Structure 1
Amino acid sequence: MSATVATAARRTRRAVRSRVSHSRRPVSRDAGSLRGTLSKYDPRRTSLSSVAAERARTLARSEDLVANDWAAASVVDSITVNTIGSGLRPQSHVNAQRLGISPEDARKLGEDMEWAWQLWNRQAHVSGKLHFDDLVFLGMRSLLRCGELVHIPVMLPSAGRDFALCIQDIHPARLCTPSDRRLDTSLHDGVEISPYGQPLAYWIASPRSTSLSRSYRSLASSEFQRLPAATGHRPGVFHCFRAEEEEQVRGVSRLAPGMKLFRHLNDSLDYELMAQIVSASFPVFISVKDPNSVVGAFAQEEDEAPGKHYQYLEPGQVLYGNKNEEPTVLQSNRPGSNFTPFAEMIMRAMAASVGMPYEVLAKDYSKTNYSSARAALLEAWRVFMLYRTWIVRHYCQPIWRMVQEEAWLRGMYQLPKGAPDFYEAIHAYTNASWIGPARGYVDPVKEITATREALDLKLCTHSEVIAERGQDLDEVWDQIEREQQRLRKMESGTEERDDNSNE
């Protein structure tokens, strides 16, 4: 028995040695090593205590760039104008099949919903001065500049309003953790979350003093408002940002990856411009060697104090030097011959950092033909549609649902007979698509011909084509029908006889 046990033990040791000797030994990767040119490349992880401070500093720098840097302002303006433009228009698509109603009833209900939206659109802002289109425009700029938008739905019943619902825009810097709650593990940079990462409430700084000398992050919780993330089925706060990392709680400015490029290029342009100003305003310098000469006497009258030094230059200025001074003529050799291609290369890198083609950022189409210009605009259009779809999904559509809910409760429209209750099928009632600004054409003839062929081959619909032009299908076709009816009357002379009978 003992011999059998010993034999089994030897076999086990041999099997273990065999597995060890044949175990896989992977090749060492340069990306994870500390050798060669990557020996100093050891990125640091941001600690949880410094995340909020770093994000707040990034926000302040981004706002400064948008306010003072032409390239950053160009990025924000280009994306906002092409994504939102003058506004996003909802087109109601009541799901007749799921509601068990006729298409005619669904269309009539959709028209009533769109009319209720138009009434609310003009009084959407809490101040009554901004339309909903303006709020979406501000929200998109806040998303690009600050990385997120923070809007609060408020029920504000007052005389002269058709709806109680209105929206209050909040600067994202006001969303932060109070100074006396920083040890609260459920608070992450002003957002109170559940153990599963679900937002429960938002802490909005509301300082009592109108002249705030301290930062919002230094205020105590007594100077904050705690707003629940939702009240029943209705959102309590719209905190929208594009999540690009796992477990992300707050948004980051779109300018953050290329912030150094934006800042340093702007400084370089300022320095080159200043060099040109100094060179263009270079004055006449007269060296005084003999103080007893006529020129020397004149110089002494102008300035009795010896050893005068000039700090500022003005165009056409005549400067008299001191005794034994020799002028050195400044050479105007700035900018260098490689400055233009270097600046263009930096701007291409800046454009790539924000996901935009160089032509859109610099507004420079001088080096493009039809094919390259169309390729650049198509690439840009994909980014615009990405942002438009995102803001519709997370901001516009929930507000459309809230507006239609209040409109139905106020009796602004009636549901068709036999249709289910509004709350029972709220998503089928409030289904809608959103139309934004038109894409535009590089070569209208070529692109319209391509669109016509796509329609003939059933590769797209008339609704999609008209929506790309920033218009509504029903409105366009109704207008075409009215114009055709009038043309038929004019051709038959009916309209002229009607005018004579009216006289």
Structure 2
Amino acid sequence: MPQPDPTPAALDTRLDKAIGYIAPRMALKRRQSRMLLSAYRSAESTRLRNNWGLGQQRESTPQSYELSRIRDASRDANRNDPVASGATDTLKLNIVGSGLHPQARIRADRVGISDERATELNRQAEAVFRRWSPYADSGNRLDFDEIQFLALAKVIEDGESIVIPTWAKESWRPFGRCLEMIEADRMDKTTAKIRYGVELGTRG
């Protein structure tokens, strides 16, 4: 019975093995090049993904186009695929859980106070944080726990999460300090010296 012709992937594997026996250094370079080429494989429009309609692309350079396409695909999956959204929810519950809260631990011996005074200061610091937490969002929509959930969701969907400390002057806030979440799409890309929101200097 005739054997089917080997697939290109199988031929590549055999060739890599043969090169590995003869020239290990060349085989390593081939493997590194293959890994580099597949880094943005999820951005390809193959038959598996050609019916996946994504949002409007905004960039013209190949690298930023691929990043935008991957980001759009991830967002689309989280909004329309219950398996993807369920996986994201599971990660948020397992990582953030009921919320990550600080625990004050003042070293009494380091600051020259009694243990009783250190315990009292710890209690006061945690009470201040609990007082601030419901007003943590600059837009007054989320508390601190919800900001953590949203930040992790953005890391999963967009690949990054941007939270900046800011100051709000509303009189009803117990504290002026608050947090503002920034969409990754808003990072400045307008000049040759700024890439994905990072300003490049003479040394990178």
Q: TM-score, normalised by structure 2?
A: 0.69
TM-aligned CA deviation for residue 194 of structure 1 = 3.9
State the secondary structure of the residue aligned to 2:163: strand
Distance 1:42 1:192, change over 3 A: closer
Task: Give the aligned length.
Answer: 160
Distance 1:54 1:161, change over 3 A: same
AA aligned opposite 1:188: R
Partner residue in 1 for 2:110: 98
AA aligned opposite 1:169: M
TM-aligned CA deviation for residue 61 of structure 1 = 0.7
Partners of 2:199 and 2:137 in 1: CA distance: 26
State the secondary structure of the residue aligned to 1:122: helix
State the secondary structure of the residue aligned to 2:180: strand
Partner residue in 2 for 1:168: 180
Distance 1:96 1:196, change over 3 A: farther
Partners of 1:55 and 1:122 in 2: CA distance: 34
Partners of 2:67 and 2:112 in 1: CA distance: 50
Partners of 1:175 and 1:103 in 2: CA distance: 47
Partners of 2:115 and 2:138 in 1: CA distance: 36
Distance 1:28 1:90, change over 3 A: same
Partners of 2:92 and 2:35 in 1: CA distance: 37
AA aligned opposite 2:114: S
Matched, 1:119 2:114: no
Question: Gaps spanning 5+ residues in structure 2: where?
Answer: 1-20, 41-60
TM-aligned CA deviation for residue 101 of structure 1 = 1.8
| Bigger radius of gyration among the two | 1
Matched, 1:190 2:185: no
From 134, 142, 152, the equivalent of 2:146 is 134
Partner residue in 2 for 1:67: 79
Partner residue in 1 for 2:101: 89
Partners of 2:78 and 2:161 in 1: CA distance: 16
State the secondary structure of the residue aligned to 1:89: coil
Return structure 1 stretches of 4+ with deviation > 6 angstroms.
none
TM-aligned CA deviation for residue 52 of structure 1 = 2.1
Distance 1:33 1:115, change over 3 A: closer
Deviations 1:199-257, CA, capped at 9 Å, x for gaps:
xxxxxxxxxxxxxxxxxxxxxxxxxxxxxxxxxxxxxxxxxxxxxxxxxxxxxxxxxxx
Partner residue in 1 for 2:162: 150
AA aligned opposite 1:190: G
**Contact 2:75 / 2:158 at 8 angstroms: preserved in 1?**
yes
Alignment of 1:169-318 (within 5 A): 169-178=181-190, 181=191, 184=192, 186-197=193-204
Deviations 1:323-355, CA, capped at 9 Å, x for gaps:
xxxxxxxxxxxxxxxxxxxxxxxxxxxxxxxxx
TM-aligned CA deviation for residue 176 of structure 1 = 3.8
Distance 1:193 1:163, change over 3 A: farther
Partner residue in 2 for 1:58: 70
**Contact 2:188 / 2:194 at 8 angstroms: preserved in 1?**
no
Q: TM-score, normalised by structure 1?
A: 0.30
Partners of 2:74 and 2:123 in 1: CA distance: 42
TM-aligned CA deviation for residue 152 of structure 1 = 2.2
Partners of 2:139 and 2:80 in 1: CA distance: 28
Partner residue in 1 for 2:27: 31
Deviations 1:30-71, CA, capped at 9 Å, x for gaps:
73587xxx9xx695498xx53222211111111111111222
